[in-house]
Amino acid sequence: MKILVVDDFSTMRRIIKNLLRELGFNNTTEADDGSTALPMLKGGNFDFLVTDWNMPNMEGIELLRAVRADPELKSLPVLMVTAEAKRDQIVEAAQAGVNGYIVKPFTAETLKEKIDKIFERIEAG
Amino acid sequence: MDTDDTSTKAQLDLARQLVAYLEAGEEDQASAVIRQLRIPHERELFDELGKLTRDLHEALNSFRGDSRLVELTRDEIPDAKERLNYVVTMTEQATHRTLNAIDEAMPVAETLHSGSLELAERWARFRNRDLSVDEFRDLARDLDDHFAQAGAETERLRSLISEIMMAQDFQDLTGQIIRRVIRLVHEVEENLVGLIRLSSAKMEPAQQPTKAVKEKTAETVDQEAVGTMGHGPVVPNTVDAAADVVSGQDDVDALLSSLGF
C-alpha cells in the first residue's frame, strides 16, 4: 500500500511515518503542503492520503476538495490528522468527503483504529 | 477673472488712499487702510491653515477608524501572550514526558545489559567446562528467566521509545501557535509603520494604512471563499475558548457518527 503523508511540519511527518511503519505500512512518501501533494498524487498510484489541515499555500481542506474533484483521484481514501478542532470544520471536512478525522494530539491507537475502520468500510463496499 | 480685477482695483484704490493719508500725516487713517490691505492675505493664510487642520483631523480619524491597532492592543496582544504562555507550558510538558520515559527506560536497559553480561560470563565458563553440574543447573534456570524477562522488558522499552516519539508532536502544535503569533506581530508592525508615516508631517502617505488594511481584508475573503482557513490548535484562555470546538477525539467521533459516519 502506497501512502502520501502531507504536513508542513517535518517532525509530524516523521511521527506519522514511524507510526505507519509500526502498523506495517512501509511505502510512505511525504509532501509539505497541498500544492506539492496534488501533483504527486496525480499519476502517483497512491492508495491512501493522510493530510494536515493548516498548511501554507494550499490547505488540507482544499487538497481534499481537489482530490474529490479529480476523476482519477476521487475515490482515494483520505484521513485528516489536524489540530483544527472547530465543529464547523469537522462538518466541512465530512461534507467535502473525508474518510476519517483525527484531532491532534493523537495516539498511536487512534491512528490504527481509524485506518482499520477506513479500510474495513472500503472492503465492505 | 472679474473678481480678481475688482480686488486689484480695490487694492489700488486703497493704496492710493494710503499714500494720500500718509502725505496728509493722518496716521490713524493710514493704519486703518494698512489693516484693510492685509485682510485678503490673512484670510488666505487662515483658509490654508484651516484646510491643513481639517486634513490632519480627517487623516487621524480615518486612521483611527481603519486601523486595527486598537483591536490589536486591546484583544489580540493579550491573546498572543496567552498563546505564548501555552507554548511554554506545552514544551515543558513534552520535555517532562520525554524525560519521564527516559527515566523509566534507562534502568530497564541497565538491568538487561548487566544481566546479559553476567550470563555471558557464566556461559563462557560452561563452554570451557568450568561449571559443576549444580552450577550448570542454576545457569539453565537463570537463562530461562532471562529470556522470559528480556522479551517483556524489550517490549517495555519499545513502548517507552514510542512514548518519546509521540511526545515530539509538540513541535508541530506549538509551531502552529507561534506562526499565528508571528502573523500578529507582522500586522502590528504594519500598523505602526502606518502610524509613523501619518505622524511624519507629510499628508500624502496617510492613505497607506487604509490600503494595507483593505488588502488584508481582500486576502482573507479570498481564502474564505476557497475553504475555512486553518486556525491551529485551540489555546485555553484565548478567543479560541469562545469558539465551538471539540474537546478531543471522542467528541470528533460522536460528531461524525451523528453525520452518518
Q: Per the structure block, which three cell numbers stand in for B64?
A: 483611527
B22 and B76 share one domain: no
What mean pLDDT is predicted for residues B144-170? Answer: 96
B96 and B162 share one domain: yes
Q: What is the pLDDT of residue B205?
A: 46
- The answer to whether position B28 is within a domain reads yes
Q: What is the pLDDT of residue A14?
A: 97
The verdict on A94 touching B (C-beta cutoff 8 Å) is yes
- The answer to whether position B120 is within a domain reads yes
User: Residue B250: its chain A contacts at CB < 8 A?
Assistant: none
Q: What is the pLDDT of residue B3?
A: 66
Secondary structure string (H, E, C) spanning B31-90:
HHHHHHHHHHHHHHHHHHHHHHHHHHHHHHHHHHHHCCHHHHHHHHHHHHHHHHHHHHHH
Q: Per the structure block, which three cell numbers stand in for A43?
A: 499519476
Q: What is the pLDDT of residue B166?
A: 96
Structural domains of chain A sorted by starting position, each given as residue range(s) with its CATH number in brackets? 2-124 (3.40.50.2300)
Lowest mean pLDDT among A43-47, B69-73, B160-164, B201-205: B201-205
B90 and B201 share one domain: yes
Domain CATH for B179: 1.10.287.500
pLDDT digits (tens, 9 = 90+) for B241-255: 788 999 999 999 999
The shares of helix, strand and coil residues in chain B, as percent rounded to the nearest 5, are 85, 0, 15
Identify from B91, B164, B228, B250 which residue to disrupt to test chain A contact, counting A C-beta atoms within 10 A and taking the largest count.
Answer: B228
What mean pLDDT is predicted for residues A63-67? Answer: 98
The verdict on B226 touching A (C-beta cutoff 8 Å) is yes
- What H or E segment, with its residue span, contains residue A76? none
Identify from B252, B257, B261 which residue to disrupt to test chain A contact, counting A C-beta atoms within 10 A and taking the largest count.
Answer: B252
B81 and B151 share one domain: yes
Give the nearest chain A residue to B175 (CA atoms): A9
- The answer to whether position B61 is within a domain reads no
CB contact under 8 A, B245 and A85: yes
- The answer to whether position B49 is within a domain reads no
Residues linked to residue A49 through DSSP beta bridges, in sequence order? A4, A78
B149 and B35 share one domain: no
Rg (CA), chain A: 13
The verdict on A83 touching B (C-beta cutoff 8 Å) is yes
CB pairs under 8 A between A and B: 97
Q: What is the pLDDT of residue B253?
A: 94
- The answer to whether position B62 is within a domain reads no
User: Which residues neighbour B253 within 8 Å (Cβ) at sequence distance 6 or greater?
Assistant: none
pLDDT bucket at B69, cuts 50 / 70 / 90: confident
- The answer to whether position B254 is within a domain reads no
Q: Which residue has the cell 514526558?
A: B97
CB contact under 8 A, A85 and B175: no
What mean pLDDT is predicted for residues A62-68? Answer: 98
B138 and B24 share one domain: no
B76 and B34 share one domain: no
B10 and B118 share one domain: no
B12 and B131 share one domain: no
B251: Cα separation from own chain's centroid: 29
Strongest mean pLDDT among B78-92, B178-192, B202-216: B78-92
Domain coverage including residue B25: 1-40
B18 and B115 share one domain: no
- The answer to whether position B162 is within a domain reads yes
B211 and B88 share one domain: yes
CA atoms of B169 and B139, how far apart (whole Å) = 45
The verdict on A107 touching B (C-beta cutoff 8 Å) is yes
**Local structure of A4: helix, strand or coil:** strand
B127 and B16 share one domain: no
- Label residue B238 left, alpha or beta by phi (over 0 means left) and psi (-120 to 50 means alpha): beta
Identify from B97, B249, B251 which residue to disrupt to test chain A contact, counting A C-beta atoms within 10 A and taking the largest count.
Answer: B249
Alpha-carbon gap: A108 to the closest alpha carbon of chain B (Å): 8
Q: Are B105 and B155 in contact (CB under 8 A)?
A: no
Number of domains composing chain B: 2
- The answer to whether position B22 is within a domain reads yes
Nearest to B252 among A61, A65, A103 (CB): A103
Which one has a higher pLDDT value, B26 or A77? A77
Q: What is the pLDDT of residue B83?
A: 96
The verdict on A32 touching B (C-beta cutoff 8 Å) is no
Lowest mean pLDDT among A76-85, A103-112, B188-197, B209-218: B209-218
User: Residue A33: its chain B contacts at CB < 8 A?
Assistant: none
